[in-house]
């Protein structure tokens, strides 16, 4: 074997070792960071304690990691999922009420507070109030003629912060059959840009304390949990 061939083999071994080290460092970063795969990464290192075992298993971990990402879980080190189908965002019409209410009800919290059929007269009254108010935008995301997502935007003027207007995002939902397709991320991006177009100096939202996945989702956009929200139920309305 020539010196040149020996050099090529040695260089290949060096490159392979570097790739293994890169895989392990990537897994270590994920295990230490705040992301949905933190426990997966910790489990990987508990199972593969030795340096040799980590190197030998790094490729398997990377494959599993990519499969999990493919299932719709996102983390800060991964590229954002983009919708695979064309999506349009438009103002909701009265005919969209049943689809919107179904999405609101198809939720661990909404199932106990919404009428999934959407037949209640209170939904129609609420829609008419929203539609008549220029500071409200009830949005639906539509794909191939089907409503696949919804959110409500409220543009709130105020004297605080030098008279700044705020954009409030509420009731973000994606139809169950379309979750994990990047629609929620596309809707939030659209909503933030809409707030900018309305000259809002601040975009804000609230989310239930129990929705840990939603918290991570919003934080990936740069939202910060800077305030504590309170609610008080009254004996009015539903």
Tens of pLDDT, residues 149-189: 999 999 999 999 999 999 999 999 999 999 999 999 999 99
Q: How many CB atoms lie within 10 A of CB 61?
A: 22
Rounded to two decimals, the pTM is 0.64
Place of tokens 């919708």: 83
pLDDT, position 56: 40
Which range, of 46-50, 136-140, 144-148, 183-187, averages the lowest pLDDT? 46-50
Query: How far is C-alpha 156 from the chain's CA centre?
Result: 24
Interatomic CA distance for residues 168 and 153, integer angstroms: 6
Percent of the chain clearing pLDDT 70 (strictly above): 63
Q: Are 140 and 147 in contact (CB under 8 A)?
A: yes
Report how far residue 172's alpha carbon sits from residue 185's, in angstroms, rounded to the nearest whole number: 10
Q: Across residues 109-125, what is the average pLDDT? A: 83
Q: What is the mean pLDDT of the chain?
A: 78
| Range scoring the smallest mean pLDDT among 42-51, 143-152, 190-199 | 42-51
Q: What is the pLDDT of residue 162?
A: 95
Q: For domain 88-219, give the CATH number.
A: 3.40.630.30
**Domain definitions of the chain by residue range:** 3-70, 88-219
């Amino acid at each position: 074997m020539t010196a040149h061939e020996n050099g090529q083999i040695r260089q290949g071994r060096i490159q392979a070792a570097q790739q293994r080290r890169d895989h392990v460092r990537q897994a270590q970063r994920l295990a230490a960071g705040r992301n949905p795969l933190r426990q997966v990464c910790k489990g990987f290192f508990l199972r593969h304690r030795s340096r040799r075992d980590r190197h030998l298993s790094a490729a398997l971990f990377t494959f599993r990691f990519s499969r999990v990402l493919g299932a719709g879980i996102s983390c800060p080190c991964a590229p954002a999922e983009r919708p695979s189908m064309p999506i349009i965002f438009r103002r909701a019409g009265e005919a969209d009420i049943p689809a919107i209410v179904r999405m609101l009800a198809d939720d661990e919290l909404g199932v106990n507070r919404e009428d999934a059929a959407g037949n209640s007269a209170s939904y129609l009254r609420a829609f008419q109030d929203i539609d008549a108010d220029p500071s409200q935008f009830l949005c639906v995301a539509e794909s191939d003629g089907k409503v696949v997502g919804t959110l409500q935007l409220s543009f709130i003027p105020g004297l605080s912060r030098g008279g700044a207007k705020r954009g409030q995002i509420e009731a973000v939902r994606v139809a169950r059959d379309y979750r994990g397709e990047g629609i929620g991320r596309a809707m939030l991006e659209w909503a933030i840009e809409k707030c900018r177009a309305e000259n809002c100096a601040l975009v804000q939202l609230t989310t239930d304390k129990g929705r840990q996945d939603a918290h991570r989702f919003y934080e990936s956009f740069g939202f910060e949990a800077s305030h504590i929200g309170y609610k008080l139920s009254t004996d009015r309305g539903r």
